[in-house]
Structure 1
Amino acid sequence: MRPGIVTLTTDFGGVGPYVAAMKGVLLGMAPGVAIVDVCHSIAPQNILEGAFVLEGIVKAFPEGTVHLAVVDPGVGTARRMLAIRTAGQWFVLPDNGLITGVAGLYGVEAAWEIANPRLARGEVAPTFHGRDVLAPAAAHILKGGDPAELGPATERFVTLRNFEPTPAERGCIGEVIFRDAFGNLITNIGEAHLAARPSRDWVVEVGGRRIDGVARTYGESPPGSLIALLGSTGWVEVAVVNGDAGRLLSAGPGATVWLRPKS
């Protein structure tokens, strides 16, 4: 029953022909494929943000799904492109750290370099490998092609050091890695970092503001309250109830976040 599902995650935005061009290649090479747009509003060249988004979607998709991700500031350079199998799914992406969150949570079953020019489009633009190299590789996998035909197997891939917070002061120092459409600031501090003590006994500090305790839901505090809570993706996020934390704190991706025990 091939082809199956392919997801798209990019920093292309909603303007221009770029996303549609990749979809056209996929549909032409793997007719009938179901294309799911995950996110095309990754901040330009923000690999960390892309890695966060990819890590957050794995559990929602069935075995065999192919995830095509293009956040690629090194396009056209000697950086590699990879097809990685993990959690029963596939990730087709540049080797620049986009796989960090997924690999950290699920490990990697196998990986291949995408290096076979015969599987690329006839003309490969040095500035659009997403359309000309990565999309054809994804189509090859969707059709059940042998991943070894893509290129040599590999056991190495780039990971991002700042995907994990730094241990400090019986807590940790992290950062905001994603600002969602509601203005919630999602951090790289996860559920495991809260395990040492009850949620109410933590302090979260960001943008010069202190938040006592990590809430379970938005509704535990009145509208306008600045809160921290464990979000649906398993990461601590800072939010304003019925408001915009990013605007209130003038903060976004890259902002430092401290997690400390109450003194």
Structure 2
Amino acid sequence: MTPSGIITLTTDFGVADIYVGVMKGVILSINPQARIIDLTHDIAPQDFKGAGFALAAAYSYFPAGTVHVAVIDPGVGTSRRALLIQTYSHFFVGPDNGLFSFVLHSRDVQQVIELSNPAYFLPLQSTTFHGRDVFAPVAAHLSKGVPAGRMGRPVSDPVIASVAEPRFVDQRTLQGEVIHLDRFGNIITNIHKDVLDRFAQGDNFTVTIRKKKATRLVKNYAAGRDNELFCIIGSTGLLEVSMNKKSAAEYIGAQPGDGIILQKQS
């Protein structure tokens, strides 16, 4: 795979501290021509599932050969492994803690490498900042065309977190799960438009979350009525429960992992 020279960064570091800037400095010291994209640094602390959702929603919009670095790493300094995953079109670099489950569930994986070759790390590695000492330099070397196989040894047992799938309870009931709350308070579920179409087949349906109900599917947020809880297909192709100019998540008290029930209306 020819590297694109682009490196994306996804972390739970925020932007108040120096951590993100230091990672960029390491990358540019190794590859001054690298183009670095901040995907997000506002992942909730230790929320590797939230980071996985962000990456899954975004990575395909980048050119082939892009290196995606993700650092949500509560196990830094322990025996947890550092990984490089090469697919047919992208590289993913970060901790082996389930963060990359979305890509490991796919059929696009070519190889999974445990990062074990210190020649591609900083000379000194701390036990608290592998984003700087391991992941950033590895990403920089990849962006220069260093083959993934030189970075370490292949592994066959990366950590793969369970991924909740929608479940058809019966012909009139579909069960799903909340997987993300965005900053606007939209409640994003694991039900893709294709699954919803197969379930609803043109019929109206009701969505229930924490005893609150949404009964309309609208095409845009502005179509929502005042104080109405409604459904919409968001930009990721997933079913969302939303409110117009208000936070549906706050109104409901929703959290990732909450169950949702869709029932066809009589």
TM-score normalised according to structure 2 size: 0.90
Q: Where does residue 38 of structure 1 map in the other structure?
A: 39
Question: What is the CA–CA distance in structure 2 between the aligned matches of 1:160 and 1:214, rounded to whole Å?
Answer: 31
8 A Cα contact 2:5 2:34, kept in partner:
yes
> What SS is found at the alignment partner of 1:160?
coil
Matching residue of 1:188: 190
SS class of match (1:109) = strand
Residue 252 of structure 1 aligns with which residue? 255
The residue aligned with 1:178 is 180
Matched residue, 1:76: 77
**Structure 2 unaligned spans of 5+:** none
Q: Any unmatched runs of 5+ in structure 1?
A: none
SS at match of 1:196: helix
Per-residue deviation at 1:208?
Answer: 1.8
d(CA) in 2 for partners of 1:228 and 1:193? 15
CA contact (8 A) 2:7 2:37 kept: yes
Using a 3 Å threshold, how does the CA distance of structure 1 residues 244 and 18 change in structure 2: closer, same or farther? same
Q: CA 1:53/1:87 → structure 2, altered by over 3 Å: closer, same or farther? A: farther
1:29-108 pair list within 5 angstroms: 29-105=30-106, 107-108=108-109
Q: Residue 58 of structure 1: CA displacement?
A: 2.0
Tell me which residue corresponds to 2:5.
4
Give 1:156 deviation, angstroms. Answer: 3.1
Offset at 1:2?
6.7
Relative distance call for 1:50 and 1:67 in structure 2 (3 A) is same
Could you tell me whether the CA contact under 8 Å between 1:185 and 1:246 is conserved in 2? yes
Matched residues in 1 for 2:4 and 2:252: separation? 46
Paired residue secondary structure (1:130): helix
Q: Is the 8 A contact 1:174 1:187 kept in 2?
A: yes
| Backbone CA RMSD of aligned residues | 2.1
Deviations 1:169-200 (A, max 9, x none): 45443332222121111122222431232365
Paired-residue identity, %: 39
Following the alignment from structure 2 to structure 1, what is the Cα–Cα distance between the partners of residues 19 and 222? 40
- CA distance 1:205–1:105, shift in 2 (3 Å): farther
